Amino acid sequence: MSLSDFKKAEVNLSGLVLETPLEYLENFKGTAGSGISVKREDLQLVRSFKIRGAYNMISSLTPEAKNRGIICASAGNHAQGVAFSCSNLKIQGTIFMPTTTPKQKIMQVELHGKEWISIVLEGDSFDQANEKAMQEAKNTGSTFIPPFNSPEVIHGQGSLALELLRQSNKNIDYLFIPIGGGGLAAGMSEVFRNMSPKTKLIGVEPEGAPAMQKALKAGWPIYLDVIDNFTDGAAVKQVGELPFGMCKRNLDELITVPEGLICEIILRLYNENAIVAEPAGALALAGAMAYKGTKSNDRIVAILSGGNNDMSRFPEFKERALLYKKLKHYFIVRFPQRPGALKEFVIEVLGPNDDIVHFEYSKKTARDNGPALIGIEIKKPEDFKPLVQRMKERNFYSDYVNELPDLMNYLV
């Protein structure tokens, strides 16, 4: 790919996509105290960067291909970009989405596509929906619009890098790019290697779906049998072949971040900056916050890639963030089956700032002790060990549930 391909895509998108702001976040700092700016693609027309690649490819189709219609698969953001493009270009489209897609994203796809698109819910993950969509495209002769593994899509996503470099009045020392299938990282890294070769390019993946990391270790885009779909916009089981090659060539480093940190960033953005970010949208900023290699005077930019969030997920975000910060702990507690046992636990075991936030107990007959499931929120991580010590001294302690994955999956 040449730089002219990306510049051509930028011209093609001119007048359609918004030039989103580059915003300095005063309250977010890197590990060395360096400031962080974010490229606000959450403010894009479809609230994510995905419109860039989708529109660039669809608008480039021949008239014959446009008449046959298009098909795509997406967990949400690519679908919105395709839907908007279909409506804008008056092309019929069919969009396959996983059954696990948040309702908010489905509604947005319907809003952007109007009568020009139809939605098919298929499979429990993007990859299952994608397989079905590709088969349908073969059967019908419609053009398949991939979310990341296409030169035209990558050129469109890479237009974001051209825009960012124009906006930046200083050299960018570190650029953090979120990675799902790899299209955005491929396009942006190619442009930066040509136009800003000294910038350190860091790809960021969620810990539960490290498809690019596994691919780079294996030497090819391997398929992951199991992933965590929590970061739905970046949770894929296999990265694209084209993005893999470009990321391997251009990225300086690839890191993963825990989903709990992503949740903490989402909540902070909402509470402190009035920014609504989805998990994949906050991914790169989480990476910038966790990365250890920056210096205090480095200029850092992270791509805030999407804001299609369902507000009903916020209780889960809070739960995961508290668990990540080691401020929420679940225990199986043995209560003596006698009057006053709970009162003793509250007075003698809990610290002055500890709070019971979850309690499940059922009294069993003919038993000396009855187990209870208790969730306790503490004020600071250092309060944990004294709490456990007091539980053990008074013979209340049984099991620490946070270290029992099956039970935690039931709770969270």
User: pLDDT digits over 79-135, tens only?
Assistant: 999 999 999 999 999 999 988 887 878 888 999 999 999 999 998 877 788 899 999
| Distances from the Cα of 19 to the Cα of 41, 161, 337, angstroms | 9, 11, 65
Tokens of 304: 């805030």
pLDDT at residue 170, rounded to an integer: 85
Mean pLDDT of the chain: 93
Spot the catalytic one: 37, 39, 48, 50.
50
Cβ-contact 183, 33 below 8 angstroms: no
- 248 catalytic per annotation: no
Q: In the predicted model, is pLDDT for residue 378 greater than 90?
A: yes
- 305 catalytic per annotation: yes
pLDDT at residue 367, rounded to an integer: 58
User: pLDDT digits over 27-72, tens only?
Assistant: 999 999 999 999 999 999 899 999 999 999 999 999 999 999 999 9
Delineate the domains of the chain, giving CATH numbers in brackets: 3-49+157-310 (3.40.50.1100), 53-144 (3.40.50.1100), 326-411 (3.30.70)
pLDDT at residue 102, rounded to an integer: 75
pLDDT at residue 412, rounded to an integer: 66
Q: Kindly state the average pLDDT of the residues 278-292.
A: 97
| Tally of CB atoms within 10 A around 100 | 16
Q: In the predicted model, is pLDDT for residue 206 greater than 60?
A: yes
CA–CA gap between residue 94 and residue 116 (Å, rounded): 9
Cβ-contact 179, 186 below 8 angstroms: no
Q: In the predicted model, is pLDDT for residue 194 greater than 60?
A: yes
Q: Kindly state the average pLDDT of the residues 217-221.
A: 96
pLDDT at residue 405, rounded to an integer: 82
CA–CA gap between residue 190 and residue 165 (Å, rounded): 13
pLDDT at residue 408, rounded to an integer: 83
The closest of 321, 289, 296 to 202, measured between CA atoms, is 289
Q: How confident is the model at residue 366 (pLDDT cuts 50, 70, 90)?
A: low
Which residues pair with residue 377 across a beta bridge? Answer: 328, 355
Q: In the predicted model, is pLDDT for residue 253 greater than 80?
A: yes
Spot the catalytic one: 85, 125, 305, 328.
305
Distance of CA 390 to the CA centre of its chain: 39
Cβ-contact 397, 331 below 8 angstroms: yes
Report pTM.
0.91
Q: How confident is the model at residue 363 (pLDDT cuts 50, 70, 90)?
A: low
The closest of 344, 361, 354, 412 to 383, measured between CA atoms, is 354
Q: In the predicted model, is pLDDT for residue 302 greater than 70?
A: yes
Cβ-contact 37, 27 below 8 angstroms: no
Q: In the predicted model, is pLDDT for residue 365 greater than 60?
A: no
The closest of 73, 96, 76, 82 to 53, measured between CA atoms, is 82
Tokens of 408: 């935690």
Residues sharing a CB contact under 8 Å with residue 18, sequence separation 6 or more, in sequence order = 43, 44, 45
Residue with tokens 């989103």: 20
Cβ-contact 148, 82 below 8 angstroms: no
Q: Kindly state the average pLDDT of the residues 329-333.
A: 94
pLDDT at residue 76, rounded to an integer: 82
CA–CA gap between residue 206 and residue 180 (Å, rounded): 9
Q: How confident is the model at residue 368 (pLDDT cuts 50, 70, 90)?
A: low
CA–CA gap between residue 218 and residue 244 (Å, rounded): 11
